[in-house]
Amino acid sequence: MRINLKYILQDFPPYKDPLKSDYFKPEPGAFVARDEAKAGAAKAGLDALFGKAPGESTPSKTDAAHTKLEELFGSGDKEDNKRK
């Protein structure tokens, strides 16, 4: 049995590369930057609510773990790793 691809491919539209079309065209005004003044005021309000000094931040879990590792193994500098 022979299949004629000409008749099968008639039902499909021609292929258009999405990278060459306008599908990924950026729209002006799509990104709106965050208002830093509002964010700073909100952070200051939260710091005042929880009794922190302005600018003082709580270390993240990653920073706390990194500090404990540095205390245990040293800072990783070559001078720290030399045998004494």
Query: What average pLDDT score do residues 64-68 get?
Result: 88
Note whether 44 and 55 are within 8 A (CB). Answer: no
Confidence check: pLDDT of 84 > 50: no
Mean pLDDT taken over the chain: 77
Predicted confidence at residue 54, as pLDDT, reads 64
> Which tokens hold the place of 80?
């720290």
Q: Which residue has the higher pLDDT, 76 or 39?
A: 39
What's the chain look like in SS3?
Answer: CCCCHHHHHCCCCCCCCCCCCCCCCCCCCCCCCCCHHHHHHHHHHHHHHCCCCCCCCCCCHHHHHHHHHHHHHCCCCHHHHCCC
* Predicted confidence (pLDDT) per residue in 13-46, tens digit: 777 776 777 777 788 888 888 888 888 888 888 8
Percent of the chain exceeding pLDDT 70 equals: 71
